[in-house]
Amino acid sequence: MAKTAIAYKEKMKELSVFSLICSCFYPEARNKLVVCEFEDMEVKPINKRASGQAFEVILKPPSPVSDAAHSITSPPKREVSLEDIQKKLEAAEDRRRVSSRTIEPE
DSSP assignments along 13-49, one per residue: HHHHHHHHHHHHH--S---TT-SEE-SSEEEEEEEEE
Burial class (CB in 10 A: 0-12, 13-18, 19+), 27: exposed
Mapping DSSP to helix (H, G, I), strand (E, B) and coil, where does residue 77 land?
A: coil
What was the pLDDT predicted at 30? 47
> Taking residues 47-54, what's their average pLDDT?
73
Confidence of residue 90 (pLDDT cuts 50, 70, 90): very high
> Taking residues 67-96, what's their average pLDDT?
85
What was the pLDDT predicted at 44? 77
pTM over 0.95: no
On whether the CB atoms of residues 35 and 19 are closer than 8 A, the answer is: yes
| CB count in 10 Å sphere of residue 48 | 9
DSSP class of residue 65 equals -
- d(C-alpha 10, C-alpha 15), whole Å: 9
